[in-house]
Structure 1
């Protein structure tokens, strides 16, 4: 075989070896990954089937039972003459005796969550009714009407208000609410707490129906004698319902359940035959009782709670919202919680727990005493009871379900409330909130925006290290955070198209025909629902996924930020591997779908324009620059916050402190000394920062003057190689790798000169921060840096090791002689106002 043929054969083998995984992976996922198959089927139906106007789907508690508000709405609908004109889809995973008792009609179908019929009807039913949330993959289509009823007035905190909840635990409920057209609420208190605790009150795009709960209609109905018989209630006895909140964990239900069992047995034993004690248990607790052959002590799990309340004389509960549903009956409530302090600490309450409309006790024996003197207890709490009825039960007249159907089917509008403000809406992706200049710039911008005029939403991934959550907590409290649950919902064909785009970008006619724009638009709507944004700002600028979503979001004004010389970033290698090439290939190819391409400094804009203008139609109109703002107040505060500690005769500057319950961990570095000329630099330990060049230049300075130190602040992939270089040059006691600091400004303030040795920069935010501190600056004359220092704020030097060394030596000479050159004064307030005006004018299109 000829050499050329061997080479060709080898190249073909490499080509096909790359293509085989591309071809096989989506098919393998569909066959072997059940969740992928579910998502693929659902999205196929979304893409190919039309919405059916006469189909209504009801779901409660993720299909665990058909109860609560969805059941009450169904029962009320059944009274209407147009009931038979609709196909009614009831979601219930396991049929029980209660479901079996529902009418047998051809226009009623039962489906289970995630099965094929469920996916089909979830994608095509015009009306969707739920009391919690649909799965992660759900996206409300145009033409569908989503009614969310929630499932109770909250005594316990919800969403982000839960004291020990993770920051993203509420994200799928939040996402569902943003897709909701009608939020049914029993009272003003409930919808305000529900929407605000999920961080969407001012941006909720649907309408609130403050009409009362349909399920309470069932409680107010005449007592059902057959129900009493079914529950085994002896005529003439008082019915006590014990309905505690479930506080176990999935897989560990026995702890709570065993205690409940003992409590019920004690109540039955000490109250005697004058009372019938019923336990309304959680789904998981019922399972435990069932496994231990004690299910006869529980109300059947499929029985509707509100129908049950209609025959109850006394309710015992703890922190459950069930008591709000019971209040309209006027009958007595006793609150029993043996872990009130713990529950308050871990979860928290919206209402004063000591001012409830009934006695509160932590002892079961006291509950029994209260029951035996219930008439006196009711009189004692009469005033508080009426207050609660007036605040929480003003809609409860037995007609809530009828009112909802009039809104839903007859287009009645008078009960609908809007919580959304009329402010312009901005959605931003800020770049993952890691400790870097992009995050600091984003936080400063978020703190400067006029929230009297704008609602700002930041969208983020739900995973990340602790530094991410620390930074997010620093964001302005007016900012709404939306998190992305689940993964990209796509068919097998969509998977091929998406991977093609990630591999090749969007360039050329063939690729543009393959482009799954609908996929990215649907994913965007899956996350933000019906919120109509005026502006989309891809502030991060490096993530290909979020760049695609924003590019095809159909928002009219879309901007993407360029935080650096992007061609240099494209070609940047770290340890022999391209850092950004794959994702920037995609991002470069979709700049054309954005309205503004924003560099963060004038010189950075000039460089990016030169390198990238061929990728952007009308580049001279679209490409511009907006200077980053600097958080001058933070810098001025932190620059003077420092401590020293002496150990073994050495003075250390404390850089971090961690106080735990039994120990204190302190980190620090050898403090700058007056005998030395102390230099400092701050930046990621990455090739573009030029640290190796700086270390060599500093070594050259050391040959001239040994009384010097260099502090290098930052972390990054080059840490080990820089440590090796410092060791090789025997400069360990002169060049100090400090690591990442939460407050680098104190160290900058203690040093004599700031040095920036970058090969290129976006802007060099740390330069602005150093100007506020008032320290001399030496920096390489490169893109980004030039824009900051060109007005005489610092000294620019040619970007070479030799020139940098010469400038360092010159600085030391002048410093020793106390004849440093004068610098221009940096006016941070004026700078920030000009930068903010640029943002309003160029990004938001507001004339100032």
Structure 2
């Protein structure tokens, strides 16, 4: 087994190195082009990442070739495989104005960086950064049927590169107002951020469906060139979508596709009809390898809409291809034998029952639908109504001339008389917040709470964090409030080796260092902002993490009314903190400090902490920039996770003065049967799991008092003092227990200390807990032994749960512990032990903590800190915008 594990690690290591080399190569290729001038007559086209000359880009290209005043343009097309698309290349062999480049080659990057016009139907790769003077036309690849972008539950970060491309685009194509609202402004949340124009002048590729004599001849030539032949038979086209949870890794059952095509072919009158298969472009190559499919498969090179123009009846499933076909006025049949399975990994905007065609769940049903449609050439009344509705919504402007109108707008600069929409502001102010790496820690907890308390009716919020596959971080990102726009930084800087080396040296030297201000270094910082955010602009930019100079350097490239950076601790003390003899944060934080003069506000998480930072960091920045904003809390989430399932029984089952009576039962079966009539089985299972989990930490057979501590096991938390104080408490109160939740570099030292003191049986090291609130709520007193803190969230969480608090007197303790709450003791072992005894003697209790009033005040502090004049005058109902989507089973919780 060890040999297998070593082999796996070796393979992963090789894969990581290969990925780094590939990324470095792309960096270098982009660097080689950075000084090349933009060629004003060059148009660069990419469709489906090089999978053919297809879709809207192909239609626009064909129309540009026909326009006399566009004859000066040169055209570069991207293809992944020159052999596979040899027939396409051959067509333009003698045209000096048309060139082809391989996807991600040096020629690819050169053309991408130097062409004035960029045309794509999906997205350019993660290294793409639009240069000044380039015009980017993003056509997209059809009306969305399947849910997209932020509408795909749990997959918001998957949209990272597409959103980045949209931010950079000068023009987005839309089939009409419905697509604009549903997809661009809805699914991808482009309101307030997108600075370009959305064109609603029809679908260029649908122009190809208006065949005429020339189009019919072109289609015949395509089929004959590929050795397939063409005749006058009517076409029945089967065009299913790709299947699978990931576009990059589609599933395809070639046998099933072949069975459908062969079945239909056996049923039709072969003298009158021809059955063809148009597989989705991401799986077409696999199907092409099956010899039996040669006579049926429409090759990927052939423009789909040419085939649609010659089709008499379309059969599809969940593909939005039917929206294009509506422009023909001909019937559509929907074959959906796997609807329930499909819904498990991809949701749709429109249910199949509401599609503009008859629905079939089996091949026999499908043939009945097809035969009736071909025989009557009529649609049922309900189908016709849906057909007309969808045609109006998505094909209203499709008259065969959409490409010409797009060329007028993009290439000629003529917008008058056309549907060109600009200015997508909705009155909200935009905020960009970097929330850190999303590891389970106090900053992540604070950030998630903040995002649950912001007034989204007033603010448009973009949340930024780096891409990661770490399970803990991914789980935390899924807890981000769904009202926020998630932005994920993926990829890295463009620029050559020496420029990037200078960037790293400049970052280490500090903002005022010589290397930071070298022209090439300044240029790649600017380019990185542009790569990440395109033309997007924000009213307020906030580094909520505050520990990395990289993000401060990046954020200061963006324009905003105010830039702010958060200080979650005594940062001068953090810089000098040692872990295993190393001051691991010193160099990074010193570089952070040099950026402070460029920020409008330095935001400490409590007023006392702000005073500490104001004095200790005075050499770096003027004192008037220091402000404070306490951390907010999420009361609903804390209580939900602390108490487990909150289901209530049906009213008819509440008996005897409104109390639920299970009564005496002769067996556990009878008791569970009675409970199941009051609560769902899922609720009962969760409660059983909750209690089993608690039994790991609490002795339910005896009366004991349990102290609980929550925090990272690092020096500033000083858990050693806590354990030593608890030893003293044990001497006089043996009926006590201590549970320590958290993990960190000092775990081994603490385990050794606990054993040396003979406390193994009364001290539990609980480690990192996804739900610390469950343990906290079942403890008796919260205790903290820190040397210094910012504003520890866990104290507020303990108060929310009604726990008495005993804490050492760190510098900002009074901002963390509201007046009248808890007991503050000196930072000594004996004082902490006496404080814990005071609780046991009944001298430390928990008073009422008004969480709503607290959050109202905190959010006013936040809005003021970022630079907004907005204030919440009443306790904010918006603060917990969680009720619509919090579920106990999928909320991720992190600890300080």
Residue 412, structure 1, aligned to residue 401, structure 2: no
Aligned to 2:619: 614
Q: Deviations over 1:529-574 (max 9, x none)?
A: 2111111100011233323211333434111101011122212233
Cα gap change, 1:300 to 1:355, in 2 (>3 Å): same
Residue 72, structure 1, aligned to residue 59, structure 2: yes
Residue 280, structure 1, aligned to residue 268, structure 2: no
Matches within 5 A, 1:280-679: 280-283=278-281, 285-294=283-292, 295-373=294-372, 374-376=374-376, 378-380=378-380, 381-408=383-410, 409-413=412-416, 414-418=418-422, 419-509=424-514, 512-513=517-518, 516-616=521-621, 619-635=622-638, 640-641=643-644, 666-668=692-694, 669-671=697-699, 675-679=703-707
Residue 211, structure 1, aligned to residue 201, structure 2: yes
In 2: Cα distance, 1:251 partner to 1:37 partner: 22
Structure 2 length as normaliser, TM-score?
Answer: 0.83
C-alpha contact (below 8 Å) 1:601/1:787 kept by paired residues: yes
C-alpha contact (below 8 Å) 2:639/2:801 kept by paired residues: yes
C-alpha contact (below 8 Å) 1:31/1:37 kept by paired residues: no
Match of 2:96 among 88, 92, 106: 106
Aligned to 1:771: 799
C-alpha contact (below 8 Å) 1:69/1:213 kept by paired residues: yes
C-alpha contact (below 8 Å) 1:627/1:835 kept by paired residues: yes
Which stretch of structure 1 is more off in the superposition, 704-713 or 154-163? Answer: 154-163
Structure possessing the higher relative contact order (Cα contacts under 8 Å, 6 or more residues apart):
2
Residue 846, structure 1, aligned to residue 869, structure 2: yes
C-alpha contact (below 8 Å) 1:370/1:377 kept by paired residues: no
In 2: Cα distance, 1:285 partner to 1:745 partner: 47
Q: Deviations over 1:557-597 (max 9, x none)?
A: 11110101112221223334434234323322322332211
Match of 2:176 among 187, 193, 196: 187
Aligned to 1:691: 719
Aligned to 2:732: 704
Match of 2:786 among 758, 764, 777: 758
Structure 1 length as normaliser, TM-score?
Answer: 0.87
- Structure 1's unaligned 5+ residue stretches are 1-28, 644-655
SS in 2 for 1:314: strand
In 2: Cα distance, 1:833 partner to 1:98 partner: 63
Which stretch of structure 1 is more off in the superposition, 279-288 or 536-545? Answer: 279-288
Cα gap change, 1:308 to 1:720, in 2 (>3 Å): same
Aligned to 1:161: 151
In 1: Cα distance, 2:807 partner to 2:386 partner: 70
In 2: Cα distance, 1:283 partner to 1:127 partner: 25
Cα gap change, 1:824 to 1:613, in 2 (>3 Å): farther
Once the two structures are TM-superposed, the CA of residue 236 in structure 1 deviates from its matched residue by: 4.7
Once the two structures are TM-superposed, the CA of residue 827 in structure 1 deviates from its matched residue by: 4.1
In 1: Cα distance, 2:110 partner to 2:480 partner: 41
In 2: Cα distance, 1:114 partner to 1:370 partner: 45
In 1: Cα distance, 2:564 partner to 2:391 partner: 51
C-alpha contact (below 8 Å) 2:567/2:603 kept by paired residues: yes
In 2: Cα distance, 1:633 partner to 1:96 partner: 61
Match of 2:265 among 268, 275, 291: 268
Aligned to 2:256: 259
Cα gap change, 1:50 to 1:228, in 2 (>3 Å): closer
SS in 2 for 1:241: strand
The number of aligned residues is 799
SS in 2 for 1:140: coil
In 2: Cα distance, 1:821 partner to 1:300 partner: 78
In 2: Cα distance, 1:716 partner to 1:767 partner: 19
Cα gap change, 1:434 to 1:285, in 2 (>3 Å): closer
Aligned to 1:5: none
Which stretch of structure 1 is more off in the superposition, 400-409 or 626-635? Answer: 626-635
In 2: Cα distance, 1:679 partner to 1:439 partner: 25
Cα gap change, 1:828 to 1:388, in 2 (>3 Å): closer
Which stretch of structure 1 is more off in the superposition, 633-642 or 557-566? Answer: 633-642
SS in 1 for 2:31: helix
In 2: Cα distance, 1:486 partner to 1:599 partner: 31
Aligned to 2:78: 91
Matches within 5 A, 1:218-237: 218-223=208-213, 224-227=215-218, 229-230=220-221, 231=223, 236-237=232-233
Once the two structures are TM-superposed, the CA of residue 446 in structure 1 deviates from its matched residue by: 1.9
Match of 1:808 among 827, 836, 841: 836
- Structure 2's unaligned 5+ residue stretches are 1-16, 647-681, 872-896
